[in-house]
Structure 1
């Protein structure tokens, strides 16, 4: 039996994914027809990016699942025509990329690297950086990416706490939850890493009230979602000296407009949404495994909770 797989993403993505998908699905023991053009009533699985032209899922009456190529699902989860199981993307490369970005930028700030890189030649200021043992980090969001980052930072010796909507148990990590837990996580955060999904409940998690809870001189890293931050409140906290630095990879509008104040703010580092990238060679294996599971009648991996929004 041949399984019909529709690839519904931008044209450049098809060029990137065609060979890896064919190889991964074949390696999973599935005989599949994979293309960008199949009659809707003949499609078994939809490999999907939310910026695809496909927005109406109603004609796909035979399909068993939509397999998202992005880690985030906020652009599709509320689609009223989508009544199929929806799986978000989780793969080792996506996780590893996020761990490397988060640990790299925290170590840059922690070690004061900028002062040495930009120092006037001949300047000799032998001031030792703090130790990780004495530095507290709070990771907001303990999904796959947040948990991996929290564990990596803990392994480096940092005092790490994590916050999530529901209580988690992670060895070596102080796990907090609920409204009081969020306040406690922020109150202890010399560094705050934002890895929450974008939902109506998480928008503006970082705002004037929550910024005021953080220790003076705290640093914020946002590789999660732009709307997690009230931008005006963050700029005010930076200007007032309460927040020392913000390293931002995601924004409400992307690409970040050339006239956005973040570009020129002396206490802000902008990176162009590169913290964690989906790489076809790895994500194709996640897609293939979910197709194998669907054909075998096994539960899908990384199934989205529609009520929670992620």
Structure 2
């Protein structure tokens, strides 16, 4: 058992050591998809020595020498945190009756999409005249931005989905809430997703602006959804904890053509699942065996289907850690 766990963790570490050259462009100094919200709202982060935009401190990526097993270099909580995200949902253990009651109001004339090198996101700051809001546990949240990960970061019964959307919310007192939505392949284009896919900036740090945006269809799509809920973290450095997650159980549909358009720009931008609440941090464990993986990487099986391999490794590691 110990040998199996060691091999699994060594393989996880090798994800960062055996990365393909195509991902070098990902090592951008652009801000991550959630840390910018925290910094913009003045939320204290112990892992930051000074209150500076995260992009001025370091760059990180999903693969290579700045990949997942090295994220402790960019946020110590990535290494030391005990309540990290994303996670794998098993059964009904984390099922909740909570539902986000999203409301879309004060439509703006223009909307901006940003390719920050880590994801593609819709910018919806609280100062914007357009507001996507909801209330949960007596706290009012306003959506700051919407972004995407492929493959999905959260898993259900060890199954991942082709795409996951994150609606990042903040409250007036700087609490964070993220609504996660899964997408699976269907026969037709998803009209709501088309608004994003058709306006993806293809270059890092580039933006595109659209005159209008319809959020009512996605609100209607999840009106009857059931949700998982747990307290976790940002899924990108600095991996800050205390984030309330609501993740819809039922996946929505997108077409293969839509997914292909996204992955052409963002081939892989997903963190491996974490052992939230077990007291064991998988990034720490992976980093600890990285030298072993480097020395023996010719004997470690590394799948070209990077997302599938990452999911399998973490699932195997977690099985031996519990």
Question: How does the TM-score come out when normalised to structure 1?
Answer: 0.26
Which is higher, the Rg of structure 1 or of structure 2?
Answer: 1
More strand by proportion, 1 or 2? Answer: 2
- Higher RCO structure (Cα 8 Å, ≥6 apart): 2
